[in-house]
Amino acid sequence: MSTTSATGSGDTGTGRYLVLLQEDSAAAGLRTMARVAGLRAASTADVSSFRTADALSGADGLLFHDLGVAVVTAAHDQADALLRAIADRGPIARIEPERTVHAYTAPPGESDEDTVQGRGPTLAEASLTWGLRALGIGDDTATGAGIRVAVLDTGFAVDHPDFADRDVEARSFVDGEDVDDGHGHGTHCIGTACGPRAPEEGPGYGVAPGAEIYAGKVLSNAGSGTDGDILSGIAWAVNNGCAVVSLSLGAPTQAGEPHSETFETVARRAMQRNTLIVAAAGNDSDRAGGTIAPISHPANCPSVLAVGAVDASMAVANFSSGTVDPNGAVDVVGPGVNVHSSWTMPERYNSISGTSMATPHVAGVAALIAEKHGARAWELWARLGQSAQRLPLPSTDVGAGLVQAP
């Protein structure tokens, strides 16, 4: 496997690194890290917590056993020692610096008032949001019952009345913060993916109201986090048998920049455990100004389903990142402009825009397909694309098209 310098331009200054191990090499990988770099890492096979912060209190890092990747705190010389060990064709496959990631919400001014009204009744008059109607959701649509959906984001408003009768499995992977959402972004995404279709107030906004919600807090109340936090959440979701993981987050990339081999391998290994990862393509474009940004990390990985955004007129959202080179492609699109969903209290609801809002729409549809057809992993991916509504737009912007409820 090709490698890059462990101290290259991707270093975020966190002092942590992702260490990818060869398949079924967890024990040997731990021994090699200790032998060549003096690094001691705990393993989720031996500890109950998936929190990297917890592991680092008594070790140099944490190995996510089921994913075969460790997050370690290492000096540059230790990282270089691990990099040299790759040449020995041992258990260590790759090392790369950890990135900082952020929640994806479009800049202010990206939501036009006529967007919601551009597709039939206004929110006040409609029983369902424009996004749910665009997905073809009706009274007889599946609900995602029995399907576990993990939304990894800024947490969840545990006191939200629309979820009072729902069982929500919640876990924080952010050091020093509980799962309660102090931002709003996570609660909005959870509502879109799995909220109610008949709330006490306003239109129905949840694609899969019968799904089992796994709310993983991997971004702080300020809306930022790290690769290690994301991996903690993915490992937790895979371990709990979630069919879908929704990631409305990421880090910008440059044209020509390769995807993370570590996250690509993690996504493939998650697929082997029947977990599909769905991620936001990114909000870095300014299409009106002639700029289309490349797909963000980790959505640019080939085995992560990358989601772009469209508005109610079925135009590509101005901010939506696109396919600009072979290093990342839009796979499908979802409603992502002026999306109404749950929010933290006392506001209760909010309408915001972003590929972040499109992503949980797609994750919710994946849950519906998983329920109706029993599809998982690559079959689930294929059904999402095959059943999507084709749009008269370049596939570089919308992939297979707008996902549709079964």
Provide the annotated active-site residues.
Answer: 153, 185, 356
Do residues 298 and 279 touch, judged by C-beta distance below 8 A? yes
Do residues 331 and 305 touch, judged by C-beta distance below 8 A? yes
Does the bond joining 346 to the residue before it have cis omega, within 30 degrees of 0?
Answer: yes
Question: Concatenated DSSP letters for 347-370?
Answer: T-EEEE-SHHHHHHHHHHHHHHHH
Q: Which of 338, 318, 348 minimizes the C-alpha distance to 116?
A: 338
Identity of the residue numbered 111: S
Q: Which residue has the tokens 């696109």?
A: 322
> What six digits make up the tokens of 166?
């729902």
Whole-angstrom distance, CA of residue 133 vs CA of residue 323: 27
Q: Can you say how many angstroms the Cα of residue 312 is from the centroid of all Cα atoms in its chain?
A: 23
Q: What is the dihedral of CA 353, 354, 359, 364, to 10 degrees?
A: 0
Angle between helices 261-272 and 227-239 in degrees, nearest 10: 10
Whole-angstrom distance, CA of residue 69 vs CA of residue 42: 12
> What six digits make up the tokens of 16?
């942590």
Name the pairing type of β-strands 69-73 and 16-21: antiparallel
